[in-house]
Structure 1
Amino acid sequence: MAALLPAFPPIGPRPMLATAAGFCVERGADPVACAEPIIGSVHQDLLDALEFAHRWTATGAAEDELPEPDEKIIDDALLSRIGGDVYEATRLALAWCSVDKWQPPALAVLCRSAEVRRRHAFAILPACRDLAALERHDLKCLAYALAVLDDEPLVVLHRPTGTGFEVRIGGIGDNFQLHTLLAHVLVGGGHVPGTAPSAQSVLLATEPEPAQGRTQTIATGAFELRGQDGRQIWNEGLPDDIPVVEGRRLLVLDEPAYQRSWNADRFFPHLPGTADLTRVLTAEETRSWFDRTTPGNGIGPSS
């Protein structure tokens, strides 16, 4: 079914066919084998939806808002405004109206294979974010899945103790999950002071088996997460938000400004996260990394 997608008429119900293939992946079909036609079709519809928005904006009054993505809007007047031949205009309009429907099949393959994410995510993420920025489509889940980092080295500096660590992360859906796993590795491992997360919250973040429903497990923040320039890295954001400094993502941990807590369930039930301590940095390496932080922002090592 996935292989049929490239030849399937663009003005036909392609998301429905992709969803059927995605359901097969959820039931055990190979996500890598199914991914290319699914993700390729997702990418094309994202680009077509952006082209629709461009033409709509270019041919209307400045105060015209982009239409809601509902197929009921597609009529002769809309197609005339989009321009081109009727077939092309219909294709772009349908992409605008149906792009949300591509999320389930895309998530089916992205959340079940790091190989799929490595091959396809980087090329598609900009178009996804550009379309989401127009605020007519809810693409949060797709954008988060495309932004997942795998086998990613992370330099972590703990400002209160002036210590540094190299951590390798993967499969983490948001910074709530990252926060829990860093606390598990660093506090639970006895490397920095604080209260380690509960065994249940760590299990929820890392369990290979898919999460089954929602739990009432609460995780409590151990750190304030900051970038190299001292700016807050929000728990609601992504590991991909952590700035790259000289080829490595650099995260600074500070004492929490106030106590934070959150539900410990992970963002993607089918995607277990990993955070492994690769090594403890030497004092010299740690100082060198602290020197790369912006002077005067209060995130250098404590004296």
Structure 2
Amino acid sequence: MQDRVLETSVDAVIAALEALDREAFGEAMQDLAQATPRSRPDEVAAALTRLAPVLAGLPIGVGGHLAQLAGSMVDFGGTPDLVLPVLVERACEVLEAAARFHALHEKAYGETPSPDDHEAIGLAIERFAEGAATHGLSEVEGQTLIEAWFTADVWVQPVLYLAQRRDVRVALPQRERLVAAVEATREWIGTAGWLHGLLLVLDDEPLIVLHRATGRAFEVTISGIGDNFQLHTLLAAALLDGDDRPSEAEIAAATDGPELEPEGGMIGRVNLVDGEGTWIWNEGRPADIPVYEGARVVVLDPPPYRRSWNTGRPYPLMVPSVTAEQLPSAEAARWMSLVKPAA
């Protein structure tokens, strides 16, 4: 009987949806969440295979929490590709509808309510569902736009969660469409803003890193680094020694340690400069580093002043990778002759 607990939970979720029974759906979702960690990986994979077409057809206002649960179930069995295509498709669909809601609302009524302001839903229904024809919409279209605006965070969250995995980022379906949908909504939808950063993450990206004080040069390959604060720490950890090297607590915070904010904070050890001599600001991302002489170039200079920040990495579940190989002295000298002094 234990072997069928997860299967029975999926049956209950589907039955509740078909019966439009909100209370039964909530109970079935709870049972599914509790059964998943206790089930075999093959059972979880089978459950996800059944849930994928269900997610594809659910109304926006109903399916977001099931999408979240399906995304988290991947940790317990199967592979992301069982649900990733439908989760990305629905996230794109919802974000596109949310962007349309925002544009129509701004044009007709001015400032759009916060997606978190559920007290504003009633007025939105009055304007966009009951008054749909005013905006050239059917009542169903108006209701869909409302649901998209107020539930977009929930629909995007499972994609945000899964995209912290390297295998997901590499195989992400509909990337161009997702980038466009995120770009159109990231100013207002919180999870879209965070997903925007993940879509810019570089994986297996080569850098040329120069240590100006010693003339050493390295070919570095990075993956899974969320911002230049994190890059700063990880380059210092990989390439520097002694007092210039971050503490073990800082390194753990910037990689996969449980404490994202180590006692004493994160301390800047170097100043990052590009090949043109322009500062590489910590607030940016590795993708912002310009290509110079055929490569993204980072020069490590002494810090001009004391810098510190709180958090080691912006995406807690994304595990970074930094590998470095020191270049021969002649190649290092060639690169040193090409880069410009810091501005």
Q: Which amino acid aligns with 1:15?
A: G
Q: Counterparts of 2:317 and 2:337 in 1: how far apart (Å)?
A: 36
Aligned match of 2:273: 226
Give, in angstroms, the shift of residue 282 of structure 1: 5.0
**Displaced runs of 4+ in structure 1, greater than 6 A?**
none
Q: How does 1:285-296 map to 2 (within 5 A)?
A: 287=334, 291=338
- Secondary structure of 1:13's aligned partner: helix
Paired residue for 1:267, among 309, 314, 335? 314
Quick one: distance in 2 between partners of 1:224 and 1:268?
23
Q: Confirm or deny that 1:108 pairs with 2:161.
A: yes
Evaluate the alpha carbon distance shift between residue 243 and residue 28 of structure 1 in structure 2; reply closer, same or farther with a 3 A threshold. farther
Instruction: Kindly provide the CA deviation profile for residues 5-55 of structure 1, in whole angstroms up to 9, marking residues without a partner as x.
Output: 22223x432211111112313445533433221122212222222222333
Q: Aligned to 1:182, which of 231, 235, 238?
A: 235
Q: Distance in 1 between matches of 2:126 and 2:207?
A: 53
- Rounded Cα–Cα distance in structure 1 between residues aligned with 2:82 and 2:336: 42
| 1:196-250 CA-partner distances (Å, limit 9, x unpaired) | 112232233334xx73675426332121123344443322332222223465323
Q: Which runs of 5+ in 1 are unaligned?
A: none
Partner of 1:21 in structure 2?
A: 70
Between the two proteins, what is the percent identity of the paired residues?
Answer: 35
Structure 1 residue 186 displacement after superposition: 1.4
Identify if the C-alpha distance between structure 1 residues 76 and 246 changes in structure 2 by more than 3 Å, giving closer, same or farther: farther
2:90 paired with 1:41: yes
Alignment partner for residue 226 of structure 2, among 173, 179, 197?
A: 173
What's 1:127 paired with?
Answer: 181
TM-score by length of 1: 0.79
Where does the alignment leave 5 or more consecutive residues of structure 2 unmatched? 1-50
More helix by share: 2
Aligned alpha-carbon RMSD (Å): 3.0
TM-score (norm 2): 0.71
1:48 aligned partner, one-letter code: A
Kindly state the Cα deviation for residue 277 of structure 1 after the two structures are TM-superposed.
0.5
Could you say what secondary structure the match of 1:74 adopts? helix
**Higher relative contact order, chain-length normalized (CA < 8 Å, sep 6+):** 1
Correspondence for 1:60 = 108
Give the counterpart of 2:342 among 285, 288, 299. Answer: 299
Partner of 1:240: 287
How far did 1:284 drift? 4.7
Q: Which moved more, 1:118-127 or 1:162-171?
A: 118-127
| Matched-pair contact (CA < 8 Å) for 1:34–1:109 | no
Counterpart in 2 of 1:5?
A: 55
Q: For the residues of structure 2 that align with 1:2 and 1:157, how far apart are their CA atoms? A: 48
Give yes or no for the alignment of 1:95 onto 2:148: yes
Residue identity opposite 1:39 in structure 2: V
Report the Cα offset of residue 168 of structure 1: 0.3
Distance 1:83 1:290 in 2: 63
Q: Which amino acid aligns with 1:157?
A: L
C-alpha spacing 1:27/1:235, structure 2 compared with 1 (3 Å): farther
Q: Note if contact 1:19-1:102 (Cα within 8 Å) is conserved in structure 2.
A: yes
Partner of 1:84: 137
Q: Write the distance in 1 (CA, Å) between the matches of 2:337 and 2:140.
A: 58
Classify the secondary structure of the residue corresponding to 1:272.
coil
More off after superposition, 17-26 vs 140-149: 140-149
For 2:97, the aligned partner's letter is D
Task: Describe the shift of the 1:213–1:264 C-alpha distance in structure 2 as closer, same or farther (beyond 3 A).
Answer: closer
